Amino acid sequence: MTRLFLARCAVTIAACTPTLAEAQTAASDTAPKITVGAFVDGYFAWDVGRPPSFDRSFAGGTTFTTQPARHNEFNVNLAFIEVKLDAPRYRGRVALQTGTSVQSNYAGEPTNGTLSGPLASRMIQEAVAGVRLADNLWVDGGIFYSHLGVESWASRDNLTYTRSLVGDYSPYYQSGVKMTWTPTPKLTARVDLVNGWQNISENNSGKGAGARLDYAATSSTLLSYYNFFSNEAGSRLRTFNGVGGRHAIGRLTLLGEFDYGTQRRAVGEDGQSTWSGWTAVARVQAAPTVAFVARVEAYNDRDQVILSTGAVEGVSNPAFRAVGGSIGVDVTPVSRVAFRTELRGWRNRDAIFPNGRVGAPRPESAFVVTSLALSF
């Protein structure tokens, strides 16, 4: 009986114990994966307004695009290095950055007290840690990319080299916590609780909240809705809603976005201010290494809630109410390398753009930029 019992145990153990190769495969599937990457994007831009300070800005001093931020100058638009950790139950990313687009985008970061402000904050692209609470449900906290819009921070991830006006004038980063739920492979929902409208340091006692829905209607079609609510400019309620989509048809990729925002007027004033913007982009992959891209766009901020143009001589309360477009060509001679050139311009209702080193502002603005970028 003893020999028979031992024989049965041996057969059972052999059947249920994985081989060494199987055990190693299972361990690698559950072990944390750490990856390191980097990106550098250098550029040269020429602005027909020839701003005397070399900053591509309004006469009043407001930078109107974060990419490219400088005129007639070789510089770095964006460079960053990242470390990512992925595991079944936890994840994280730390990325440090620099470049003129970083300086421009973080210029409005508030300084409130001695331990805040843009000097330290702008170096952090993301510093976020997350844990899986349940199947398809994650919570992450730290500094992370915003949930608003359909364009990304890094130029390599966008159809056009420069970001659209609706992209530049909605948050690219936030500080707080976010919860992401993927109930089906086609639907992803996200809810954010953050300090406010693109600020790491606090500027008031309130908090901002927003949500996003992404629906993959097909393998080539993605539809998005997003919103945001916060108290800004003291305690004035700001609301923001937007929709966007992306669709691929063979060699053609289409992208569209429309945003609409409101903000309660100052104490003593009735009603609320509004702003809106839209963009449409088409990109054609003409050859394996060459693509052409075109964009049309418009942005209207009559009350200067988001984009303050400053005082312009001879113009009463000039506002940014512009239409524009761009054309570009992208060349990728080898993997990880992108050579991109773009011509872009706008026409505004009021004359607000620099007009050479001297002279009154004018309503038109245009620039050309060429970039060489490397991902590794």
Identify whether 104 is part of a domain: yes
Average pLDDT over residues 96-111: 90
Residue 298 or residue 20, greater confidence: 298
Going along the chain, which residue ranges are E strands?
Answer: 33-47, 73-86, 90-98, 124-134, 137-145, 173-184, 187-194, 208-218, 221-232, 236-249, 252-264, 272-287, 290-301, 320-331, 337-348, 364-375
Cα separations (Å) of 257 from 154, 171, 194, 226, 342?
Answer: 18, 15, 23, 11, 20
C-alpha 269/C-alpha 355 separation (Å) is 35
Identify whether 230 is part of a domain: yes
Nearest in space to 86 (alpha carbons), one of 125, 35, 52: 35
C-alpha 160/C-alpha 280 separation (Å) is 11
Which range, of 233-247, 303-317, 333-347, averages the lowest pLDDT? 303-317
- Percent of the chain at pLDDT > 70 equals 88
Identify whether 7 is part of a domain: no
Neighbours of 329 (CB within 10 A): 16
pLDDT of residue 8: 36
pLDDT of residue 57: 60
pLDDT of residue 234: 75
Identify whether 1 is part of a domain: no
C-alpha 235/C-alpha 264 separation (Å) is 9
The residues with which 194 forms a beta bridge, in sequence order, are 176, 208
The yes-or-no verdict on residue 68 having pLDDT over 50 is yes
Longest dimension (CA), the chain: 107
Residue 9 or residue 149, greater confidence: 149
pLDDT of residue 26: 53
Residue 313 or residue 44, greater confidence: 44
Which range, of 178-192, 221-235, 275-289, averages the lowest pLDDT? 221-235
pLDDT of residue 4: 37
Q: Which two tokens stand for residue 214?
A: 């992404």
Residue 287 or residue 364, greater confidence: 287
Identify whether 3 is part of a domain: no
Q: Ranked by mean pLDDT, which of 60-74, 122-136, 310-324 comes out on top?
A: 122-136
The yes-or-no verdict on residue 312 having pLDDT over 70 is no
Nearest in space to 278 (alpha carbons), one of 256, 263, 262: 256
Q: How many domains does the chain have?
A: 1
C-alpha 369/C-alpha 162 separation (Å) is 9
pLDDT of residue 74: 97
Confidence class for position 149, pLDDT limits 50, 70, 90? very high
Identify whether 25 is part of a domain: no
pLDDT of residue 44: 98
The residues with which 15 forms a beta bridge, in sequence order, are none
Q: CATH number for the domain including 181? A: 2.40.160.10
pLDDT of residue 111: 82
C-alpha 347/C-alpha 165 separation (Å) is 13
Structural domain boundaries, residue 371: 32-375
Average pLDDT over residues 163-181: 96
C-alpha 98/C-alpha 77 separation (Å) is 8
Identify whether 17 is part of a domain: no
C-alpha 148/C-alpha 160 separation (Å) is 18
C-alpha 134/C-alpha 157 separation (Å) is 30
Which residues, 6 or more positions from 166, have their beta carbon under 8 angstroms from its beta carbon? 149, 242, 257, 258, 259, 277, 278, 279, 297, 299
Provide the mean pLDDT of the chain.
88
Identify whether 122 is part of a domain: yes
The Cβ-side half-sphere exposure at 29, using a 13 Å CA radius, reads 6
pLDDT of residue 21: 57
At 5-63, the pLDDT tens digits run 333 343 333 444 456 555 555 555 578 999 999 999 999 999 998 887 888 864 445 55
Running DSSP on this structure, what letter comes out for residue 323? E
pLDDT of residue 14: 40
